[in-house]
């Protein structure tokens, strides 16, 4: 595709529900990142893939968070047993600049946990 | 762990005034990037600085990287209403792999 596409754009979940957020990166791009952005804060790193390999998951806040990219293209971020503190915008990005390494972000998925 | 601090958190200016945001890292960075996020939008890449003491300009925007590669600044000359948004710096360490650490951002509002 022409850009990074994320779905759903908005998700409301009851506390304790599981959610799955999808990221469709730019076709053929190797690197994929997930960031979490709480209201009024900067994006915080969650995890990084190179193709299907998850090379860094040190930013995942708990074992309730799980990310996968089984075929090296579409990625899913899953949050189990959601808590109110999980409410945030979840941003997916790929790295477009092979030299400069800049991130190209999707529109994000806004998760609200009630 | 690595921390990236930005000041000020908020800045309100009259159109035509200048604006500066400052970014400081607790550790030496291999490079620093700047992003702009419009209200309701997602972060958009502006520029990357790599060399110690580097200065880059984009029209009314001037970006600097400190000599010690631990701080950076973004200066906007003669702000316009289109400059409204939150400006984030994001730093990368040599040992952090591909991970970028973002600052908290400076939210700029411009009164016409």
**Predicted local confidence at residue A86, as pLDDT:** 98
Query: Chain B: which residues have CB within 8 Å of chain A?
Result: 4, 6, 31, 33, 35, 41-45, 48, 88, 90, 92, 97-105
Length of chain A: 114
Q: What CA–CA distance (Å, rounded) separates A66 from A47? A: 9
Q: What is the mean pLDDT of chain A?
A: 93
CB A92 within 8 A of CB A111: no
**Predicted local confidence at residue B98, as pLDDT:** 83
**Predicted local confidence at residue A97, as pLDDT:** 63
pLDDT in tens, B51-101: 999 999 999 999 999 999 999 999 999 999 999 999 999 999 878 778 899
- Among residues A97, A51, A104, which one has the least CA distance to residue A73? A51
A105 vs B: CB within 8 A:
yes
Residue in chain A lying closest to B89 (CA): A42
pLDDT in tens, B16-46: 999 999 999 999 999 999 999 999 999 999 9
- On the question of pLDDT at B14 being above 70, the answer is yes
**Predicted local confidence at residue A98, as pLDDT:** 61
Compute and round to an integer the Cα radius of gyration of chain B.
Answer: 13
**Predicted local confidence at residue B94, as pLDDT:** 78
Residue A2, helix vs strand vs coil? coil
Measured in angstroms, the CA of A107 and the nearest CA of chain B are apart by 6
Dihedral angle over CA of A75, A79, A85, A87, nearest 10: 50
Which residue stretches of chain A have pLDDT < 50? none
* Interface probe with B: pick from A3, A39, A42, A105, most Cβ of B within 10 Å: A42
**Predicted local confidence at residue A95, as pLDDT:** 86
Q: Which residues of B touch A59 (CB under 8 A)?
A: 99
The number of beta carbons lying within 10 Å of the beta carbon of residue A31 is 18
Find the CB nearest A106 among B6, B42, B103. Answer: B42
- On the question of pLDDT at B12 being above 90, the answer is yes
Bigger pLDDT: B15 vs A102: B15
């Amino acid at each position: 595709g022409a850009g990074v596409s994320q779905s759903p754009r908005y998700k409301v979940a009851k506390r304790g529900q599981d959610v799955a957020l999808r990221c469709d990166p730019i076709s053929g791009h190797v690197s994929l990142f997930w960031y979490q952005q709480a209201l009024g804060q900067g994006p915080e790193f969650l995890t990084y893939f190179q193709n299907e390999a998850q090379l860094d998951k040190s930013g995942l806040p708990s074992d309730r968070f799980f990310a996968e990219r089984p075929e090296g293209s579409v990625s899913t971020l899953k949050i189990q047993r959601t808590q109110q503190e999980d409410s945030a915008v979840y941003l997916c990005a790929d790295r477009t600049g092979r030299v400069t390494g800049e991130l190209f972000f999707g529109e994000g998925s806004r998760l609200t946990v009630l | 762990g690595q921390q990236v601090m930005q000041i000020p958190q908020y800045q309100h200016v009259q159109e035509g005034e200048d604006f500066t945001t400052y970014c400081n890292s607790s550790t030496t960075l291999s490079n620093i990037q700047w992003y702009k996020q419009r209200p309701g939008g997602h972060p958009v890449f502006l520029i990357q600085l790599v060399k110690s003491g580097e200065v880059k300009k984009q029209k009314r925007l001037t970006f600097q990287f400190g000599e010690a590669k631990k701080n950076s600044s973004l200066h906007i000359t003669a702000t316009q209403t289109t400059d409204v948004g939150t400006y984030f710096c994001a730093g990368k360490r040599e040992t952090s792999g591909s991970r970028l650490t973002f600052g908290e951002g400076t939210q700029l509002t411009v009164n016409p």
